[in-house]
């Protein structure tokens, strides 16, 4: 069948008119469940993910009208053709941003619109570069959505050096702030209900960082702060994708994710200031038998250490303004330690994160400079974590991360007091 491409227009959450491209060869008009696969130049990987997703839909949601949607960034590597040529009974829709418009968040925005158009009850999203996805992932992420849950985040085994932004910032901070424990708030694979799709389409707090890599934490934070119940799905198989050395490939993702977290803190400050400690979130999907171990992730420790020590010297001016005196002095001391003795402990790290959140809120220094200075300290914390956890088994590392989260919760009054103090001084 010759696919027909439709160019459509709609307003993005900021009110800007955006074109989007749709190819709907089976002319799907309604769907109960969607599996969305965001992509940019994933022609090599997307057929496998689409096949697994299709098997999942056929095996576990056979009584529902289902569709696979690739939400793409106008890839130049034949992603569209690779996706549409996957042989399956499940109908497929290809969506894309127009040429020149990139960003994972923009892909998702197209998916939200289509989910609302199709009146879907459930949307499961899986990354296009996954190599470990099984049909069970679709079941585990999708089923809770038919049991009244609004949002389902993943739990999977990740290598201890994979997901360092999650382990040291996104998870402990979102947990301490909002009181809901979501182990993988930026995991990239999750489920959300039709009601949540409509809420996302309203575009509250949407900005250019959300349109890029900030989308995952934006969705999770809105879900946690919505009235809709949230859950987690244990996916059994480890997340095997293009895992990256945190020292070598931070890229723009760090800025997008952290800016989004900090900006949402401003919007929800009346909520998180009331939150004390945290609560677990229900978990679905156990009983899969033995879980596999993830492949190793190589880390360049020297690069992390140098990034911290050199970055500290380069950004002294920012630290003097953003960190409290006590935190500044301790961090400076650590930045002067030789590699063999260097350690940036969780208690200090929690205060650093809180100081930077407040610095962002108060615009103490230009935000680009603030982010650049924060990266150096993040390298310090990550390097310290790598040193501490060397030789530790994954389960022990999980316990270590849990302890770090408790430290963030216990240190939270430091943030609340500073935030309130700033408000009292009329600096908002």
Q: Give the footprint of other proteins on this chain (CB under 8 A).
A: 146-149, 155, 157, 178-181, 183, 225, 227-230, 232, 234, 271, 274-283, 286, 393-399, 402
CB-nearer residue toward other proteins: 96 or 281: 281
Q: What does the alpha-carbon distance between residue 143 and residue 235 come to, in Å, rounded to a whole number? A: 13
DSSP bridge partners of 33: 66, 122
Q: How far is the CB of 405 from other proteins (least distance, A)?
A: 11
Q: How far is the CB of 183 from other proteins (least distance, A)?
A: 6
Identify whether the C-beta of residue 71 lies closer than 8 Å to the C-beta of residue 95: yes
Q: Which is closer to other proteins, CB of 78 or CB of 226?
A: 226
Query: In which residue are the tokens 């140098």 written?
Result: 306
Tell me the C-alpha distance between 312 and 152, whole Å: 38
190/217 Cα distance (integer angstroms): 12
Nearer to other proteins (CB atom), residue 236 or residue 246? 236
Of 40 and 178, CB closest to other proteins: 178
Q: How far apart are CA 349 and CA 331, in angstroms?
A: 9
* Residue 67, strand partner residues: 34
Residue 238 Cβ vs other proteins, minimum distance, rounded to whole Å: 12
State the minimum distance, in angstroms, from the CB of residue 195 to other proteins. Answer: 11
The nearer residue to other proteins, 2 or 274, going by C-beta atoms, is: 274
Please name the residues in contact with 224: beta carbons below 8 A apart, sequence gap of 6 or more: 151, 174, 178, 180, 182, 230
Q: Which is nearer to other proteins, 333 or 399 (CB)?
A: 399
Rounded to a whole number of angstroms, the minimum distance from the CB of residue 240 to other proteins is 17
Name the residue nearer to other proteins (CB basis): 17 or 276. Answer: 276
Of residues 274 and 341, the one with the C-beta less far from other proteins = 274
SS3 state at 36: strand
d(CA 39, CA 104): 8
**How is the beta sheet containing 17-23 ordered, strand by strand?**
5-11, 17-23, 92-96, 66-72, 33-39, 122-125, 190-193, 151-155, 230-234, 283-284
Q: How far is CA 48 from the centre of its chain?
A: 22
Pair of tokens at residue 125: 């999203």
Q: In angstroms, what is the minimal distance from the CB of 394 to other proteins?
A: 7
Whether residue 49 contacts residue 35, with contact meaning beta carbons closer than 8 Å, is answered with: no
Residue 114: which of 129, 97, 139, 126 has the closest Cα? Answer: 97
């Amino acid at each position: 069948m010759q696919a027909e491409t439709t160019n459509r227009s709609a307003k993005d959450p900021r009110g800007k008119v955006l074109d989007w491209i749709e190819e709907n060869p089976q002319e799907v008009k309604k769907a109960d469940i969607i599996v969305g696969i965001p992509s940019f130049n994933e022609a090599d990987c997307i057929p496998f993910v689409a096949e697994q997703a299709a098997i999942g839909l056929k095996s576990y949601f056979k009584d529902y009208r289902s569709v696979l949607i690739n939400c793409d960034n106008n890839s130049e590597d034949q992603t569209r053709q690779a996706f549409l040529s996957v042989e399956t009974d499940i109908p497929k829709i290809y969506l894309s941003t127009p040429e020149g418009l990139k960003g994972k968040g923009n892909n998702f925005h197209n998916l939200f619109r289509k989910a609302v158009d199709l009146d879907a009850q459930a949307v499961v999203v899986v990354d296009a570069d996954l190599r470990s996805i099984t049909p069970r992932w679709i079941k585990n992420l999708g089923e809770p959505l038919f049991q009244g849950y609004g949002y389902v985040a993943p739990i999977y085994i990740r290598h201890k050096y994979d997901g360092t932004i999650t382990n040291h910032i996104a998870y402990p901070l979102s947990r301490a702030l909002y009181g809901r424990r979501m182990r993988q708030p930026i995991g990239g694979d999750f489920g959300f209900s039709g009601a949540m799709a409509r809420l996302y389409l309203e575009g509250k707090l949407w900005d250019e960082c959300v349109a890029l890599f900030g989308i995952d934490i934006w969705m999770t934070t809105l879900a946690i702060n919505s009235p809709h119940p949230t859950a987690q799905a244990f996916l059994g198989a480890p997340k095997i994708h293009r895992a990256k050395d945190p020292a070598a490939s931070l890229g723009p993702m760090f800025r997008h994710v952290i800016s989004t977290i900090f900006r949402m803190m401003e919007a929800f400050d009346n909520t998180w200031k009331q939150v004390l400690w945290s609560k677990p979130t229900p978990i679905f999907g156990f009983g899969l038998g033995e879980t596999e171990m993830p492949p190793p992730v190589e880390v360049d420790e020297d690069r992390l250490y140098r990034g911290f020590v050199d970055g500290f010297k380069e950004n002294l001016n920012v630290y003097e303004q953003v960190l409290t005196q006590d935190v500044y002095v301790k961090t400076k001391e650590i930045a002067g330690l030789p590699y063999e003795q260097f350690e940036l402990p969780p208690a200090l790290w929690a205060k650093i994160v809180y100081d930077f959140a407040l610095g962002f809120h108060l615009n103490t220094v230009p935000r680009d400079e603030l982010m650049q200075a924060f990266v150096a300290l993040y390298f310090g914390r990550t390097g310290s974590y790598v040193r501490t956890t060397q030789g530790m088994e994954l389960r022990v590392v999980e316990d270590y991360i849990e302890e770090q989260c408790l430290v963030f919760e216990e240190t939270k009054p430091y943030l609340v007091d500073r935030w309130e103090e700033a408000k009292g001084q009329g600096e908002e």
